[in-house]
Structure 1
């Protein structure tokens, strides 16, 4: 596979590695970008990066809460201009409300749900595409709930009430006072927005992700030249560290950088005189995991002009 300058540039952007290292990694992996990222990481030439930090799609994330239930919904568009369009914002708000009423995590069910202004959510979206003149799509939805407690929402850098690019929901099960839970939930939500946990606890981490991290750790440890039993311990230690840093309950609270979230919740419960349990959360960052091709504007203009 031919190694293009654009591929080398993207690998440099994603890893911070030098140009020659990037070229060599791409040659060794036959141009496979993801494999090249892993190779550079295994050699200690790149820092681990989460795919979600490479936000590519535009649109909005909406959040809505009612009582003990909350829903987050992502709606994508082609450009950021649409996210500022009042018609689009109104659609996301009403679609999120419909998703909250419906419950669940089925985006197709949301599309088929009734829109408060008539027709279905999908019908309204189709009309918006025609009137706004840009493709839009319902991407994903997630609902969390508690039996007794509260669901707290937080929108980082909101562009309008409950609309923005990073939406968070925190589900706290407890008999503690609502104002206590609201304050705690807001702090945890802000932590989640900043720290981007991959799961509530280590057991919930994606096993494919763990396998990938283990392979990288094995390759890195093998270069140390240490005995096999030491290498095994090094790898296990690296995976334990990864799990601790990426599971919400074991992450260090961003506000003091020393207390695990589990202990923050436990301490809040003791102070409130009622046990508090963090049972679930949602973190939707607009476009996370979507790779978007960067257009060559000059080339587009030249093509349009027939040059």
Structure 2
């Protein structure tokens, strides 16, 4: 398979690895992007996560809550200048409130009526594009609810009430005191903003993600030259550590690192006066997964082509 400059660029932006390393990885894996990422990680050249500085979309994350329900939405704009525009902020705030009365899906929110205009949310956004003069889109949304308890919220670096660049929801099921419950919920939401867990519990981590990690650990461990039986134990140990690091309840609580999140919740139950169960989490980072154009890429492509 021919390895194109565009493929090299994509792998480089995904992993942060050097151009020549990316070209070699794609060559070794016959152009398979996912396998190339794992190849680079196994060689110690790339990290598991995409570089955080490589997102391009601007806009705002909006959060709205009412009773036992809350929603977080992402509405993108082309520039941060527009994101600071009062009219744009009003739209994000309004759409967030409308989303509370839907099932939380982008399609349902887009079809819902926007009270201020009497039109569908999607149509209202289209009209705003013409008025503000910049492309905008409702990209993502997540809604969480509980039958008894709270859905705590947190907006990091808020630019206005309920609006910012990073929004988190935490659903806590409990019959206990709601104010005390919301206090621990907000702390957990702040923790999630900082650590970005993959799941609530280790058994909830996507099986495909866990399998990829295990395969990478196996390749890394084989480089030690140790017997297969020893390698298996090494990999099992690294997988236990992996689950501790990516599952919310087993993570060290950022508010008090001497406790895991699960232990902190158990402590909070004394104040809340009832058991607490985390039933859902959501974390939306503005522009996550949208790549930024690299203005200096031409020279790097030329260097790869010569190589």
Moved more, 84-93 or 271-280: 271-280
The alpha-carbon deviation at position 127 of structure 1 amounts to 0.3
After superposition, the C-alpha distances for 1:51-87 in whole angstroms (9 at most, x for unaligned) are 7674332211111110111111111122222211211
In structure 2, the CA distance between the partners of 1:188 and 1:135, relative to structure 1 (3 Å rule), is same
- Find the aligned partners of 1:246 and 1:33 in 2 and give their Cα distance: 23
Name the SS for the 1:101 alignment partner: coil
After superposition, the C-alpha distances for 1:75-111 in whole angstroms (9 at most, x for unaligned) are 1122222211211111111111010122x23210110
- Find the aligned partners of 1:218 and 1:10 in 2 and give their Cα distance: 22
- 1:303 matched residue in structure 2: none
Q: How does 1:62-77 map to 2 (within 5 A)?
A: 62-77=62-77
Name the SS for the 1:59 alignment partner: strand
- 2:146 matched residue in structure 1: 146
- Find the aligned partners of 1:9 and 1:289 in 2 and give their Cα distance: 12
- 2:79 matched residue in structure 1: 79
- Find the aligned partners of 1:184 and 1:27 in 2 and give their Cα distance: 49
In structure 2, the CA distance between the partners of 1:188 and 1:53, relative to structure 1 (3 Å rule), is farther
In structure 2, the CA distance between the partners of 1:294 and 1:20, relative to structure 1 (3 Å rule), is closer
The unaligned stretches of length 5 or more in structure 2 are 300-307
- Is the contact made by 1:166 and 1:284 (CA closer than 8 Å) also made in structure 2? yes
The alpha-carbon deviation at position 279 of structure 1 amounts to 1.7
- 1:156 matched residue in structure 2: 156
1:228 aligns with 2:261: no
After superposition, the C-alpha distances for 1:90-144 in whole angstroms (9 at most, x for unaligned) are 1111111010122x23210110001011111011011011122222111111111
- 1:304 matched residue in structure 2: none
The alpha-carbon deviation at position 273 of structure 1 amounts to 2.7
Q: How does 1:126-145 map to 2 (within 5 A)?
A: 126-145=126-145
In structure 2, the CA distance between the partners of 1:296 and 1:230, relative to structure 1 (3 Å rule), is closer
Name the SS for the 2:114 alignment partner: coil
In structure 2, the CA distance between the partners of 1:68 and 1:292, relative to structure 1 (3 Å rule), is same
- 2:209 matched residue in structure 1: 209
Moved more, 289-298 or 233-242: 289-298
In structure 2, the CA distance between the partners of 1:223 and 1:108, relative to structure 1 (3 Å rule), is same
The alpha-carbon deviation at position 147 of structure 1 amounts to 1.4
Moved more, 31-40 or 183-192: 31-40
In structure 2, the CA distance between the partners of 1:231 and 1:121, relative to structure 1 (3 Å rule), is same
